Amino acid sequence: MKSGTFNMNAFDPPVGFRTYICLDCLTGAIDPITLSDFRRLGFAVFKPGHICKQEDLEIRKRRAEKKLYVDVIKKWDELRLLSIRYLANIVHQWVGPNKDIHMKVIEESDLKSQIADSLPTNLGKTGKNHWAYRALNNKEENKRTVIDDTELMDFLNLASATFAPFRAEIDGKEHYFYLYICPIPMFTTKE
């Protein structure tokens, strides 16, 4: 490639992020989901694909042999909270500092069985002020839903990613849907 030229095929932007805290090795990475991975694997790319590193397992084993036990539940909780906070910071940088964070929804009847099979997070009955309720209502008008930082943290805590399957009872009807954080320049829709 010549100096000063841009190879569009090499450009593989993130379309989202996911995190996972492993109970076995007590590590937690935040992984970008690239456009090429999403095209290749679809929605499944947001499921954790963690494999413990042997060195992390060995460290934990050596600590146990020396009777240096770690409160696994406490450590897991700490790591999870940190990963969700870092993920929220990444989202803020991804959409742009001081910009609104937008959420979009995908709810299509042909996806219902796929979503149900992926063990969606059950939100139960949701009211008009809930971010999922607002997103589903805005779907009809093809609008994005703006969420605040508290709602972002709630969403990320439940999803552990910027894209996840959910189910909820809204206005007496059960809905199965995907919700995702939408960086505006990358995923614009006709409005």
User: What's the pLDDT tens digit per position in 158-178?
Assistant: 999 999 999 999 999 999 999
Sign of CA dihedral 91, 94, 96, 101: negative
Q: Where are the domains of the chain?
A: 8-95, 101-182
**Distance between CA atoms of residues 34 and 149, nearest Å:** 24
pLDDT band at 190 (very low <50, low <70, confident <90, very high): very low
Q: What is the mean pLDDT of residues 117-145?
A: 87
- Please say whether the beta carbons of 83 and 157 come within 8 A: no
Give per-residue pLDDT as tens, 34-91.
888 888 888 888 887 788 889 988 888 888 888 888 888 898 899 999 999 999 999 9
Phi, psi of 186 (to 5 degrees): -80, -40
Which of 43-47, 71-75, 112-116, 185-189: highest mean pLDDT? 71-75
Is the pLDDT at 188 greater than 60? The verdict is no
**pTM: predicted TM-score of the whole model, two decimal places:** 0.81
pLDDT attached to residue 125:
95
Is the pLDDT at 120 greater than 60? The verdict is yes
Residues in the chain: 191
Q: What is the dihedral of CA 149, 46, 134, 130, to 10 degrees?
A: -60
pLDDT attached to residue 49:
79
